[in-house]
Structure 1
Amino acid sequence: MHSFFSIAVELSVGLFALLILTKVMGRASLSESTPFDFISMIVVGDFVSDAIYDPETHIFKVIFAILFWGILIYIIDIVTLKFHQSRGFFESQPALVINKGKIDRNVMKKNRVDMNHLQMLLRDRDIFSFREIEFAILESNGKVSVIRKPEYETTKRGDLDLANRSISVPVTLISDGVIINRNLDRLGKTEQWLISELKKHSIEDPKKVMIAEWRNEDGLFVQKIL
């Protein structure tokens, strides 16, 4: 019974210590945190787990460790605020993955982002086609910020008194130079048809294509590997 009571006390103290630390440090929510914030929370959480599972670790030692860790984080925050050059070391920097409508493959490689992951991030922003994007920035929290091309900026058709039109989901046919045959089958198309469509865009080799996607409304969108 004593051990259960001890665990309950240690959990309660650890929980409130973490809450206080989070409030004082002004940490963002986990979904918005940077990699540095995420690592900090893992380390502090490990301090609390030590107090629960290691009988040699006293709760006051854990509280000291949490407070000392909080002081270190606070000092780092002050340093990054006053000395801009230090941010590159402690914090991830935003990366321009799409510049003037062109996907920068080198930036994607540097940030370990593949085409499937980039498409997922864009769909999370309600963007389903690369043709809509003028600029896209990969933020330090792993999300993307997007500036659409003027013709794709969000408006209500009712505001312009326009008739409704059909909308289809873009289908990726080539990603990083690889033809996706299952998507061709979905459209009822063949590789020969795709190659002939690429020739209309002055592209002879599908391996030179960064992304190719088909949408019923406006056909094939193609971007070559830079």
Structure 2
Amino acid sequence: MTEQLESIGSIAIELTVGLFGLLLLTKVMGRASMSEATPFDFISMIVVGDFVSDAIYDPETHILKVLFAIFFWGILIYMIDFITLKLHKTRAFFESQPVIVIRNGIIDRMALKKNKVDINHLQMLLRDREIFSIREISFAILEPNGKVSVIKKPEYGTVNRNDLSLPVHAVSVPVTLISDGVIIRKNLKEAGKTENWLKDELAKRSIENSSQVMLAEWRDEDGLFLQTK
């Protein structure tokens, strides 16, 4: 029984250390690597996860080996990032390059074949961009992360205010003032508002307490938006 408890305690400690080590590694890799993983980033995450799992569940592995595996792999990733930053030619090997798969409305079959993408997969990627017909596209670029960037033909492009000769208005970032009933005082100050002002606005809408509000958002263009629970 004592040996089992010691084993469980050891695993718990190694899992905790491994978790914080991986979190630190993701900080080193940067946000872009997490949100839009390239093939190199994908391989990195798989290898590091495998290192950590093997080290944790191997009874002969010490916790220092877990940290060493994460630390050493982090150094390798940092070195490769540094090399690709300084030597532009190495980026094609480590990060891949964007490829034009539709040019002037014509599908480049060789480019698709080279990147192991068939027509059905290309159509799926386009539908993800809310494009349901290839006839709408002038250029499509397959990005290193597997997504597609698109330039539409002029007749299918989105109409903007300049096209209609309408006046252009300034826009601002919405600021959340209440989230799940909690007043966010820092955001209130950022919006140039006070808590008394907010309470008065709630009272005008027959809301007695901020706890009744799911979301309150302020935007300079159109004022306060509220949604109750």
Question: 1:27 and 1:83 mapped to 2: Cα distance?
Answer: 22
Letter in 1 for 2:28: V
Gapped runs of 5+ residues in structure 1? 161-226
The alpha-carbon deviation at position 37 of structure 1 amounts to 0.3
Q: Which of 146, 149, 154 pairs up with 1:145? A: 149
Query: In structure 1, the residue corresponding to 2:144 is in which secondary structure?
Result: coil
* C-alpha contact 2:140 2:150 (8 A) present in aligned 1: yes
Shift of 1:24: 2.1
Q: Write the distance in 2 (CA, Å) between the matches of 1:140 and 1:94.
A: 6
Q: 1:134 aligns with which of 138, 147, 168?
A: 138
Shift of 1:57: 1.3
Q: Hey, what's the Cα distance between the residues in 2 that align with 1:135 and 1:59?
A: 52
CA offset at residue 45 of structure 1?
0.7
Alignment partners' CA distance in 1, 2:9 and 2:158: 57
1:85 to 78, 85, 89: 89
Deviates more, 1:119-128 or 1:53-62: 53-62
Give SS of 2:110's match.
Answer: helix
Q: What displacement does 1:51 show?
A: 2.1
Match of residue 105 from structure 1: 109
Aligned to 1:72: 76
Counterpart CA distance in 2 for 1:31 and 1:20 is: 16
Q: Deviations over 1:21-49 (max 9, x none)?
A: 11122153555100000100111111110
- Aligned twin of 1:16: 20
1:93 is aligned with what amino acid? Q
Rounded to whole Å, the distance in 2 between the matches of 1:27 and 1:155 is 33
For the 8 Å contact 2:56–2:66, the answer to whether it is kept is: no
Q: CA deviation at 1:92?
A: 1.2
**1: CA distance between counterparts of 2:71 and 2:107?**
44
Distance 1:27 1:72, change over 3 A: farther
Deviations 1:96-140 (A, max 9, x none): 000111100000000000011000000000000001000000000
Q: Which has the higher mean CA deviation after the structures are superposed, 134-143 or 26-35?
A: 26-35
Q: Does 1:114 align with 2:107?
A: no
Partner of 2:36: 32
Q: Find out whether 1:47 has 2:68 as its counterpart.
A: no
Q: 1:201 aligns to what?
A: none
Partner of 2:176: none
Return the alpha-carbon distance in structure 1 between the equivalents of residues 33 and 16 of structure 2: 21
Q: Report what 2:6 is aligned to.
A: 2
User: Percent identity over the alignment?
Assistant: 76
What are the within-5 Å matches in structure 2 for residues 167-178 of structure 1?
none
Post-superposition CA distance 1:190-226 (Å, at most 9, x none): xxxxxxxxxxxxxxxxxxxxxxxxxxxxxxxxxxxxx
Size of the alignment, in residue pairs?
Answer: 159
Match of 2:148, as an amino acid? Answer: V
After TM superposition, the score normalised by the length of structure 1 is 0.67
What letter is aligned with 2:91?
A: R
8 Å CA contact 1:27–1:37 kept in 2: the answer is no
Alignment map for 1:134-213 (pairs within 5 Å): 134-155=138-159
Scaled by the length of structure 2, what TM-score is found? 0.66
On the 8 A contact 2:33/2:41 being kept in 1, the answer is: no
CA change 1:121–1:31 in 2 (3 A) is farther
SS at match of 1:128: coil
C-alpha contact (below 8 Å) 1:96/1:138 kept by paired residues: yes
Please name the residue that 2:225 is paired with: none
Q: What SS does the aligned partner of 2:149 have?
A: strand
| Aligned residues: CA RMSD | 1.7
